[in-house]
Amino acid sequence: MPRIIPPLLPPLLPPILPPFVPGTRALRTFEAAARHLNFTRAADEVGLTAAAVSHQIKEMEEQLGVPLFVRTSRSVRLTPAGERMFDATSAALETLHRAAGEARRLHGHAGPLRLTIGPRFATNWLFPRLPAFQAAHPRVQLAFDITDEVRDLQAGDADVAIRFGAGNYRGAESVRLFGTVLIAVCHPALAASLRTPRDLPRHTLCHVSCEAGGRAWPRWRDWMAAAGIHDFDDSGCVTFKESSHVIQAATDGGAIGLAELPMVARELAEGRLVRLFDVAVPVGDDFAYHLVYPAGAGEDERIAALRAWLQAEVGCSMPRSLNAA
């Protein structure tokens, strides 16, 4: 999917894998093979060949004196002993991964600050402001993991995250940044012909189709209801998985988009987009963007610098109604 990345952007992280724990290669290989029940897919995950995976499994079986897999010409499956070993291995590796993450944090805070962040927030809010952070904190290097998947900060998958939700995360501290509402936007040339909300269905309407925290993201029928139109059928609207596509379609002039106000503030200020009517749909009063990091990690100077900068940026550039509480 396309990502708008400004010049001098710090590197993206490679695909997130559990932190490497010395001496666990054979266990990691067995766990991947047992989880996939496919030696080829396991090999791709752990960076070996399928033949090497098979060889390591055979060595484990010889050392244990019991078969772990039943192999046929078409498939593999776990034996009862293999199932027991899989459960124990998965639990042990998870414990070791968490311990390894803690050990790295206790050792010190060297290298880039690894930030996991969703594509919507990254592209539409953070990246355009990133040069300002780099200028204010030239010694803090950032590396990005762009994904909507929730990474395990306790296990060391990343150092810090920006997440959208209620802000309650086990074993983590969170700082509320700002809430969000959805508004209707379009190209200025199109806005002149739109006198009431009922004029909008004559044009292409687009919105994001997704869920956040188990609840459906607002769509056009919600905006229309807020505008007093309760009989609107939005089944003919164009849907996207990424808000950047909605914003691009509206900026190009081919559609009217339903977009988050904080994510289009720059386009509105610069006149590239126009807000239509005084109608806004909240995603939820209890939901907001949060900066999240492991409990006790707030003393990390890099995290403290990012936290202070984000709070200052929100305070000076965001609408007061959405500002951090």
- Do 165 and 87 belong together in one domain? no
If DSSP codes are grouped into helix, strand and coil, which group holds residue 319?
coil
Region 238-255: mean pLDDT is 91
Distance (Å) of CA 76 to CA 36, 122, 180: 10, 42, 49
Residues 139 and 82 in one domain: no
Would you say residue 254 lies in a domain?
A: yes
Q: Is residue 34 in some structural domain?
A: yes
Chosen domain end from 72, 107, 142? 107
Work out how many domains the chain is built from and give that number: 3
The answer to whether residue 17 sits within a structural domain is no
- Please tell me whether residues 214 and 92 are part of one structural domain: no
Same domain, yes or no, for 142 and 195?
Answer: no
Element (H, E) at 289: strand 288-294
In a domain? residue 87: yes
Residue 103 phi/psi, 5-degree rounding, is -60, -40
Give the residue from 107, 141, 163 where a domain finishes.
107
Which band of pLDDT confidence, cut at 50, 70 and 90, is reported for residue 14? very low
pLDDT tens readout for residues 84-117? 999 999 888 877 776 666 666 555 555 788 999 9
In a shared domain, residues 244 and 117:
no
Give me the CATH number covering residue 237: 3.40.190.10
Cβ partners under 8 Å of residue 219, min gap 6:
207, 208, 209, 234, 237, 239, 258
Residues 37 and 103 both lie in one domain? yes
Same structural domain for residues 309 and 163? yes
Domain region containing 88: 25-107
12 found inside a domain? no
Question: Do the domain assignments include residue 15?
Answer: no
Query: Are 128 and 6 contacting, i.e. CB atoms less than 8 angstroms apart?
Result: yes
Question: 168: pLDDT confidence band, cut at 50, 70 and 90?
Answer: confident
Is the same domain home to 274 and 300?
A: no
Last residue in a domain, options 84, 107, 130: 107
Measuring CA to CA, which residue among 292, 291, 286 is closest to residue 170?
292
220: tokens are 């056009």
Residue 172's pLDDT band, with cuts at 50, 70 and 90, is confident
Please check whether residues 185 and 276 belong to one and the same domain.
Answer: yes
pLDDT band at 20 (very low <50, low <70, confident <90, very high): low
pLDDT tens for each residue of 273-297: 999 999 999 887 778 999 999 888 8
Task: Give yes or no: residues 162 and 291 share one domain.
Answer: yes
